[in-house]
Amino acid sequence: MTKMAIKICGLSDRAGVDAALAAGATHVGLVFFPKSPRNVSVEQAAALAAHVAGRAKVVGLFVNPAGDFLTHACNVVALDVIQLHGTESNKQAEQIRSRHGLETWKAIGIRESLNQANIYARAVDRVLYDAKPPEDHDLRGGTGLRIDWSLLAGRRHPLPWILAGGLDATNVAEAIRITGADFVDVSSGVESGRGIKDAAKIAQFCRAARES
Ligand SMILES: O=C(O)c1ccccc1N[C@@H]1O[C@H](COP(=O)(O)O)[C@@H](O)[C@H]1O
Give the residue, out of 8, 27, 31, 39, with the most ligand 1 atoms within 8 A of its beta carbon, to mutate for a pocket test: 31
Task: Give the model confidence (pLDDT) of 55-93 as tens digits.
Answer: 999 999 999 999 999 999 999 999 999 999 999 999 999
CATH T-level assignment (fold) for domain 5-210 = TIM Barrel (3.20.20)
- Euclidean distance between CA atoms 59 and 57, whole angstroms: 6
**Global ipTM:** 0.97
Q: Whose CA is nearest to atom 8 of ligand 1?
A: 141
Residue 77: HSE in the Cβ half-sphere, 13 Å Cα cutoff = 31
> Relative to the CA of 188, which ligand 1 atom is closest?
19
The reply to whether ligand 1 has any atom less than 6 angstroms from the CB of 65 is no
pTM metric for this prediction? 0.96
The reply to whether ligand 1 has any atom less than 6 angstroms from the CB of 143 is yes
